[in-house]
Structure 1
Amino acid sequence: MTSRWLLSSFGIVLAGAIAACSTNSATPEAASPEAAPTQTTTTAQPAASPASVQKIVTLTSLTTDIIHTLDQDTLVGIPGSSILQEDTRFAELAVVSTGRAEPDLEKIVALEPDLVIGAKGFHDKSLARLEELGVTTLAVDVTGWDTLATLTQELAQQIGADPQPLLDRYDACLAKAPENSPSAIVLVSRQPLLSPNKDSWAGDFLEQFNIQNLTADLQGESPFDGYVTVSEEKLLTTNPDVLLVVDTGEDLLAQLKGDPFWGQLKATQSNAVETLDYFGIVNPGSLASIEATCDRLSQL
């Protein structure tokens, strides 16, 4: 993976996440709005009341999945991400964006939504313009499991749905966490070597599964909030029990295997190297990808 690709991938929202991020992991659109860290916020206007929110347009794959799961009849427009295109549940819905391009505002307005949900930091301009056009919007940013639960409850309230079944799924996912887990470092790119600290969706995920993230407390200069640059020396010094390499479609693992330091690590010498899908660990992507990551982390 080149640093240039990573900049386009993570720079999409690195804060949105949920979050903070949606599609084919091999393409830039894969790093969609939820690409990383996310919390939940609203734009200038107050959100519509439950009684009036009957038509929603979503601009991120995660919020699309959440809304559809809460009440499938509420969705009228979705983003054009591959993670959704591969899901037949969304086949008949209007697509209002393509890849990393700005959403089609005319198409969104024509759908007459009561609410448009986008990613904070990525869709700010589009949401502001929609507000000017009289459309109520919500900007979201998912930085961890607490914000995911809060977001789910807020969206359920907006449409008058019961959030408990989804909250139960989250609890079931987290219940898979073992009491004791190995120390680990997650690598999401090679040039530079980037790893999540505790201020990211990935970092919170590791903490929830009692995995000792050896870069959790590191701070430093990095283009992306919640991610730090790790030197080869730092990797060799911390020497984690397990290395978690994120699969972004760029064959990062094969690239890392060619570096001189790789064979000196305890994890590589003991074959304790695991690959995780970009969706789920870096970009939440969808409910299914989050649950799949729970399964993988529970097996470390």
Structure 2
Amino acid sequence: MMLRRKSIWLVMLIAALLLLAACGSSGGTGDDLTGAASSAPEESAAPETGTEQTFQPTTVTDDTGATIAIDKPVEKVACIVSLCVDVLAELGMEPSALAESGVRVIASSPEFYGSKGETFPSIGGSFFEPSLEDLVTSAPDLVIGLKGAHDTLREGLGGVAPLFLASPSHYNDSLRFLETIGQLTGKTEEAAAAKARFLDKLKAAGEKAPKDKKALIIFGSDVNFSVVTATGLGGTIMKEISDYPWKVEKPEDDPYGEGSVPYSLEKLLVEDPDVIFVESYSYAPDTKPVSEQLAESPLWSKLKAVQNGQVHEVRSPIWGDGRGTRSLGVMLDESLAILYPDLFPRS
């Protein structure tokens, strides 16, 4: 592909010289790009004022190691994971279709598309088995899903659209994913701007926050909860603004390297956090939030955070499922306002 582009350029140059026309700027060539699992691609030079940046055929690798080749800018993206909604919002794009449940919830949140999020075409089925018929009907250029959840869809989507699977476990992974999708969609400038906004916000928060509060994120659907450790996605944000001592002590407790481990109230009492953020997941209409279920245990009331009224149920579709830079920015804003209300008042 690179050789063919060079040949075309050479023919055009010879023709231009024969016609004695002035030459414009010559186009450079770049190495193949890697996706969210690899180092960040170099940013392209900004196009001259009044010109459009030429899209170069691009090859990326997703988090499963699958190679995805794109020869024209991706315009229609079907989202079967919330991370997809996050990145499209950052790039100023809209999904061509949405899976239901949490994906629809985040799309309809005010920080994303608001009420317009209710109008995007629906992809039926379950989270782990979205409807292939609906995906085909939406005629996407790209489908974005979650590694470990949607891997089996790749064969079914063959000949329909490439499938990009991601699973960021650090905010740097989310940044690389943003840049990669920016490359595939021809939205490199939008990706660079979103990256800068996020990093500037995180740096300013880290410099201003006193980090004298011990924070904790837990998640679950019942009393069998798990802790997001400092190597989990949310933990990589929290350790920048707070005392966040939670870690994976035994590799077997975190076999997939996601940075989350099962916990008990007895173990929680050892560190005794000042503030607890709770991501509750409900699988039935009448399910109580996790904090209310844990409150039925006598041990819960012994925690400092409980005694001081510092247990906060958060928006799990954004905090837990969003995974992208916009969701992490929302997490950052909301957690700072709770941890240090005098320094970071709610807007």
Taking structure 2 as the reference length, the TM-score comes to: 0.65
Take 1:76 and 1:244, find their aligned partners in 2: how far apart are those partners?
33
The total of aligned residue pairs comes to 259
Give 1:138-153 correspondences, 5 Å limit. 138-153=164-179
Amino acid at match of 1:215: W
Change in CA separation of 1:284 and 1:191 when aligned onto 2, cut-off 3 Å: same
Instruction: Let me know the Cα RMSD of the aligned residues.
Output: 2.9
Q: Which of structures 1 and 2 has the bigger CA Rg?
A: 2
Which residue of 188, 196, 215 corresponds with 1:168? 196
On the 8 A contact 2:223/2:290 being kept in 1, the answer is: no
Measure, in 2, the Cα distance between the counterparts of 1:232 and 1:61: 30
> Alpha carbons of 1:115 and 1:243: their partners in 2 closer, same or farther (altered >3 Å)?
closer
Pick aligned residue for 1:201 from 233, 244, 254: 233
SS in 2 for 1:207: helix
Aligned match for 2:115, one of 88, 104, 116: 88
Q: Partner amino acid for 1:169?
A: R
Quote the Cα distance in structure 2 between the aligned partners of 1:244 and 1:65: 21
Unaligned runs of 5+ in 1: 1-38
Q: Deviations over 1:229-281 (max 9, x none)?
A: 22332222222222333344532222222211122223333333333221333
- Structure 2 counterpart SS, 1:54: coil
- 1:106 corresponding residue in structure 2: 133
Instruction: Report the secondary structure of 2:217's partner residue.
Output: strand
User: Identity of aligned pairs, percent?
Assistant: 22
Shift of 1:134: 5.1
Contact 1:280-1:286 within 8 A present in 2 as well: no
Secondary structure of 1:124's aligned partner? coil
Q: Give the corresponding residue for 2:27.
A: none
One-letter identity of the residue aligned with 2:244: N
Structure 1 residue aligned with 2:290:
252
* CA deviation after TM superposition for structure 1 residue 45, in Å: 4.1
Task: Report SS of the residue matched to 1:214.
Answer: coil
Q: Distance in 2 between matches of 1:187 and 1:90?
A: 28
SS in 2 for 1:139: strand
How many angstroms does 1:117 deviate by? Answer: 1.5
Q: Under a length normalisation based on structure 1, what TM-score does the superposition of the two structures give?
A: 0.74
User: 1:178-224 CA deviation, whole Å, 9 max, x = no partner?
Assistant: 14241133332453232112332222221232x22232243353687
Q: Distance in 2 between matches of 1:221 and 1:149?
A: 27
What secondary structure, in the 3-state scheme, does the structure 2 residue paired with 1:47 have?
A: strand
- Tell me if the contact between 1:66 and 1:152 (Cα under 8 Å) persists in the aligned partners: yes
Out of 52, 76, 94, the residue aligned to residue 96 of structure 2 is 76
**Structure 1 position 99, deviation (Å):** 4.3
1:296 corresponds to which residue? 334
Give the superposition deviation at 1:110: 3.4
Inter-partner Cα distance in structure 1 for 2:327 and 2:121: 23
